[in-house]
Structure 1
Amino acid sequence: MIKSEKEKMLAGEYYDAGDEELVKERNYAKDLTFAFNYTKPSETEKKKEILRQLINAKGSFHIEAPFQCDYGYNIEVGENFYANYGCILLDVNKIVIGDNVLLAPNVQIYTAAHPIDPEERLTGKEFAKPITIGNNVWIGGGSILCPGVSIGNNVTIGAGSVVTKDVPDNVIAGGNPCKVIKEL
């Protein structure tokens, strides 16, 4: 059986991002994020309803505008989720976020990647790896999570960190590249 480009994308295989179905789905998400970002701040219920059409939120959550994502349907957030201004979640693959997670301003979560080999990259191939964030996590402002990483439970990531490898439970981590600074 031949896989669709979307199935390849979600399986972490090379796929064609220019696929008609994927372009249509990204445009739908762009329309919703545009509507969210340009809704009056006082219209909290309208903003939440727009986000509920976009992401899978299991409980209470709050996202400040501006907010950007690729598809929306690959984002799952747990109870008591908060994302501050300017967060970007490139959800080409799954982004699963636990309960009681705080994202400071300008946190960027990237599941999308491109081949390292220049000739292969010029073919237009792309791939993506899922990202998981545990419960009770605070990610400091301007941090970047790279494709395929997992953040454990009870973790604080310092501002400006670039997370290129998994972070275990119960630690404070930071830096570029992000490393464990202290165990809790």
Structure 2
Amino acid sequence: MEKSKWNRPGHLIKFTVASLTVFDERLGAWRRANPELTVRRPASVQSIVCASSFLDMSGQYFAVLTRPEERWTRLEQSAAHLRDTALPWFASTADPEQIVQTAPDALLTAWGLAQDLIEFLVSTGHHMQAQALWKRVQEHQPSHRQAFIAGRAMAGTGEPPRWHTPEALGWSASVLDLL
């Protein structure tokens, strides 16, 4: 959650739910132990499984709590909306056996952390699910076919692409071929 820079007691009290992120420390450890199987990414996100903008998911991404008599009601409404919107999104990453079916399409783009989900599945030993997710990504992103091919070529040279690029997905596909 983010507070508004305009917050002032008696004038405005507002918070925004900007993003949703799932981290898994075992995934971070796997990435550090297997650098040849992953792409370059900032150290601060070594353990990231996936993330999404809540701003893109919902028109109700903020709550205004300025008026004391309305605070509890508005806070309860905001919490209910988060429960109904965010918790199903989080649940889509909870079970590696189900990620292929439950991952929202928004996560399956080059910039939507599909590559991270594939690595998460590989790191947990769910190689068949990783292959199926890769297939779903290709169907969802046919316009990136050339970038996927370029990423596979980069894997052949041992030079990993940058994180969050279509080439990173091609890199991941080449890793799947090794398993």
TM-score (norm 1): 0.21
Structure with a larger share of its residues in strand = 1
Structure with a larger share of its residues in helix = 2
Q: Rg bigger for which structure?
A: 2
TM-score (norm 2): 0.21
